[in-house]
């Protein structure tokens, strides 16, 4: 789940892009990059690490120009090495850079066409590099010395026909401007806003509205499914629906875990949908165990705090922050290997004993994926002297791989895959495990915007919104991206793999 941002401003945009990426850091901790353009010359800096580690003053000084794009990466394809940090760049036509959130599902076919028919070179295993090259090839085919917005839209139209999967992107075209586009189902979020300056209107497009908030942009609206928005270097905005069959079916997991609660996605406040998740979970508890003996509700920070508060309130039970989060440890679920994830949970969370001792505790988390967090926290609660340890998940059981930009590639790594709720309860060591019902989870988000007819809930149901993901793809994904395969790739993708020409993080 990466974060993307693009800005067309009236003066240098580097600092605004940096600030926006900082606001999107929760979407990707592996790598960060910024590319800007001034007088047709592109400047870039990208590397592995957090935004605050990747960019030094000397980099920022060189990132000049009134338009640019940025990316924070959480890999779902290829490796996590520096050569796959984004934005990606191709020099023809015009000079294009792209930042992508999502994941393509027909990569084999796209790669074959690009190599054999379009005669283009791929330097990495990244699906984002493929996407950029498809767009570039289709734009080249428009064959315009001075392309107009319609030419960019035509290239996007042709691109939609060739690629499958989830993608919300910003692309910068040197000398022309920035084009943003979202797949036909609007699986991954993308929103744009504007702000007025003395010199005219500035535009920002980003994965989440929090990126707009920090620099004082006002939300205009979400980019619609299949829509492309082009903003010229002069700040003129054009838009067109470029995909044929469009339907808004956003990823429900944004509301469960990925997005920040202060973001508004497709008109839905993530904060409010998490409050409603907690309310509905409370209703289920009261239905199933009206005579429950829960003394206290304790959330597992960070993401379950909001749902936890509503849960406790609606149960009429005390809410206590019995687990303290170390603010210097990032999100554990999006870390690349199980060993690192496991170690980080213990470093990240510590129990306040007095909130557990002798009590019947209900721990609440937004979701249980691999079970790394809950297993350790339940043990921690027992060590702290809890009497009973109950566990509630604000999302249903995660049983199926994600193919649209969340790195859950392998069903065998998911604790609930092929196991009943009772078996999961036993494995995590809880006295009672309660999952949210899917209808309730969907309603919690849908209540915020009834116009959203459906969500992509594939990790819970195994039904993929694009309807075209074949068994072969799952098998390939599982083989390429299970934890041990990723560990091997990490070892082999050191700096020597970096090509300084355009994909490198060279100094
Ligand atoms: O079952 P698991 O595989 O452990 O995955 C689920 C856990 O991972 C996430 O937390 P994370 O630490 O990534 O981020 P957070 O601070 O936003 O809660 C999520 O909020 C759950 O706590
Ligand atoms: N999480 C994402 O959106 C990942 C984008 C892209 N598939 C990559 O691996 O870099
Ligand atoms: Mg968590």
User: How close is the Cα of 169 to the center of ligand 3, in Å?
Assistant: 26
Residue pLDDT tens, the chain, 507 long: 799 999 999 999 999 999 999 999 999 999 999 999 999 999 999 999 999 999 999 999 999 999 999 999 999 988 888 999 999 999 999 999 999 999 999 999 999 999 999 999 999 999 999 999 999 999 999 999 999 999 999 999 999 999 999 999 999 999 999 999 999 999 999 999 999 999 999 999 999 999 999 999 999 999 999 999 999 999 999 999 999 999 999 999 999 999 999 999 999 999 999 999 999 999 999 999 999 999 999 999 999 999 999 999 999 999 999 999 999 988 888 788 888 888 888 889 999 999 999 999 999 999 999 999 999 999 999 999 999 999 999 999 999 999 999 988 889 999 999 999 999 999 999 999 999 999 999 999 999 999 998 999 999 999 999 988 888 888 888 888 888 777 776 655 544 455 544 545 444
Contact status, residue 115 vs residue 193, Cβ threshold 8 Å: no
- Using CA atoms, how far apart are residues 507 and 412, in angstroms rounded to an integer? 40
The contacts of residue 287 (CB under 8 Å, 6+ apart) are: none
User: For 159, phi and psi rounded to 5 degrees?
Assistant: -65, -45
Q: What are the structure tokens assigned to 344, written together?
A: 């980080």
The response to whether 366 counts as a known ligand-binding position is yes
Q: Is the ipTM of this complex over 0.85?
A: yes
Task: Enumerate the domain spans of the chain.
Answer: 3-247, 273-325+345-448
Ligand 1 probe mutation, 259, 299, 329, 333, most atoms within 8 A of CB = 333
Position in ligand 2 atom list of the atom nearest CA 407: 1
Predicted local distance difference test score (pLDDT) of residue 330: 86
User: How close is the Cα of 57 to the center of ligand 3, in Å?
Assistant: 33
Q: Using a 6 Å cutoff on CB, does residue 27 contact ligand 2?
A: no
Given CA atoms 51, 52, 54, 58 in this order, what sign does their dihedral have? positive
CATH 3.90.1150.10 fits 273-325+345-448, yes or no: no
User: How close is the Cα of 6 to the center of ligand 3, in Å?
Assistant: 29
- Using CA atoms, how far apart are residues 208 and 264, in angstroms rounded to an integer? 7
The contacts of residue 241 (CB under 8 Å, 6+ apart) are: 224, 226, 227
Q: Using a 6 Å cutoff on CB, does residue 372 contact ligand 1?
A: yes
- Using CA atoms, how far apart are residues 67 and 207, in angstroms rounded to an integer? 17
Phi-psi category of 86—alpha, beta or left, where left has phi over 0 and alpha has psi -120 to 50? beta
Q: Using a 6 Å cutoff on CB, does residue 331 contact ligand 1?
A: yes
Phi-psi category of 79—alpha, beta or left, where left has phi over 0 and alpha has psi -120 to 50? beta
Contact status, residue 505 vs residue 47, Cβ threshold 8 Å: yes
Ligand 2 probe mutation, 127, 258, 404, most atoms within 8 A of CB = 127
| Buried/exposed code over 435-458 (b: 16+ C-beta within 10 A; e: otherwise) | bbebebbbebbbebbeebeebbbb
- For the chain, what's the residue count? 507
- As a whole number of angstroms, the longest Cα–Cα distance in the chain is 75
- Of all protein residues, the one whose alpha carbon is nearest to atom 10 of ligand 2 is 75
Given CA atoms 110, 187, 442, 211 in this order, what sign does their dihedral have? positive
The fold of the 3-247 domain, in CATH, is 3.60.20
Taking the CA atoms of residue 206, residue 207, residue 213 and residue 214 in that order, the dihedral angle to the nearest 10 degrees is: -80
The response to whether 365 counts as a known ligand-binding position is yes
Q: Using a 6 Å cutoff on CB, does residue 303 contact ligand 1?
A: yes
- Using CA atoms, how far apart are residues 177 and 69, in angstroms rounded to an integer? 10
Predicted local distance difference test score (pLDDT) of residue 99: 98
Q: What are the structure tokens assigned to 295, written together?
A: 């003394």
- Of all protein residues, the one whose alpha carbon is nearest to atom 3 of ligand 2 is 101
Ligand closest to 251 (CA) is 2
- Using CA atoms, how far apart are residues 46 and 506, in angstroms rounded to an integer? 8
User: What is the chain's alpha carbon radius of gyration, rounded to the nearest angstrom?
Assistant: 23
Give the pTM: 0.95
Residue from 435, 423, 111, 128 nearest 256 by CA? 435
Task: Specify the residue for token string 């199926």.
Answer: 400
Positions marked active-site: 2
Got the DSSP string for 18-67? HHHHHHTGGG--SEEEEEEEETTEEEEEEEES-HHHH--HHHHHH--SSE
User: How close is the Cα of 349 to the center of ligand 3, in Å?
Assistant: 10
End-to-end CA distance of the chain: 27
User: For 126, phi and psi rounded to 5 degrees?
Assistant: -75, 135
The contacts of residue 238 (CB under 8 Å, 6+ apart) are: 149, 153, 229, 230, 231, 232
Pairing relationship of beta strands 432-435 and 388-393 according to DSSP bridges: parallel
Ligand 2 probe mutation, 5, 28, 74, most atoms within 8 A of CB = 74
Task: Indicate if 273-325+345-448 has the same CATH topology as 3-247.
Answer: no
Task: Specify the residue for token string 């039904």.
Answer: 463
């Amino acid at each position: 789940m990466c974060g993307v941002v693009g800005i067309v401003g009236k003066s240098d945009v580097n600092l605004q892009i940096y600030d926006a990426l900082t606001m999107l850091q929760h979407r990707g901790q592996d790598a960060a990059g910024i590319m800007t353009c001034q007088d047709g010359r592109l400047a870039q800096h990208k590397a592995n690490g957090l935004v605050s580690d990747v960019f030094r003053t000397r980099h920022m000084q060189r990132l000049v120009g009134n338009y640019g794009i940025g990316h924070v990466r959480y890999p779902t394809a290829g490796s996590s090495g520096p050569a796959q940090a984004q934005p990606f760049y191709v020099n023809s036509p015009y000079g294009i850079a792209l930042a992508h959130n999502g994941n393509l599902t027909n990569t084999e076919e796209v790669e074959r066409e690009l190599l054999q028919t379009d005669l283009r070179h791929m330097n990495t295993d990244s699906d984002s590099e493929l996407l950029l090259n498809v767009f570039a090839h289709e734009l080249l085919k428009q064959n315009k010395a001075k392309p107009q917005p319609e030419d960019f839209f035509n290239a996007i139209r042709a691109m939609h026909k060739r690629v499958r999967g989830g993608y919300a992107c910003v692309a910068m075209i040197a000398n022309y401007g920035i084009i943003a586009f979202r797949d036909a189902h609007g699986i991954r979020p993308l929103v744009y806003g504007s702000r007025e300056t003395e010199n005219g209107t500035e535009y920002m497009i980003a994965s989440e509205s929090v990126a707009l908030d920090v620099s004082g942009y006002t939300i205009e609206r979400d980019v619609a499914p299949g829509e492309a928005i082009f903003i010229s270097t002069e700040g003129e905005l054009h838009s067109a629906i470029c995909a044929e069959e469009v339907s808004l079916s956003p990823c429900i997991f944004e509301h469960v875990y990925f997005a920040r609660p202060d973001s508004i996605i497709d008109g839905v406040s993530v904060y409010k949908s998490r409050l409603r998740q907690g309310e509905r979970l409370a209703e289920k508890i009261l239905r199933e165990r009206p005579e429950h003996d829960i003394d206290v509700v304790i959330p597992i920070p960070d993401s379950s705090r909001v749902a936890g508060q509503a849960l406790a309130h609606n149960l009429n039970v005390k809410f206590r922050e019995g687990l303290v989060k170390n603010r210097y440890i990032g999100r554990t679920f999006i870390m690349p290997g199980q060993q690192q994830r496991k170690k980080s949970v213990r470093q990240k969370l510590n129990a306040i004993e007095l909130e557990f001792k002798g009590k019947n505790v209900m721990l609440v988390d937004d979701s249980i994926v691999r079970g790394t967090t809950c297993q350790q926290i339940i043990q921690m609660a027992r060590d702290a002297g809890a009497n009973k340890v109950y566990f509630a998940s604000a999302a249903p059981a995660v049983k199926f791989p994600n193919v649209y930009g969340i790195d859950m590639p392998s069903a065998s790594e998911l604790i609930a895959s092929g196991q009943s709720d009772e078996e999961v309860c036993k494995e995590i060591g809880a006295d009672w495990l309660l999952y949210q019902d899917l209808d309730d989870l969907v309603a919690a988000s849908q209540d915020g915007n009834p116009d959203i007819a459906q969500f992509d809930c594939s990790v819970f149901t195994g039904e993929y919104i694009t309807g075209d993901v074949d068994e072969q793809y799952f098998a390939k994904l599982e083989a390429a991206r299970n934890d041990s395969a990723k560990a091997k790739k990490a070892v082999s993708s050191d700096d020597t793999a970096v090509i300084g020409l355009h994909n490198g993080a060279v100094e």
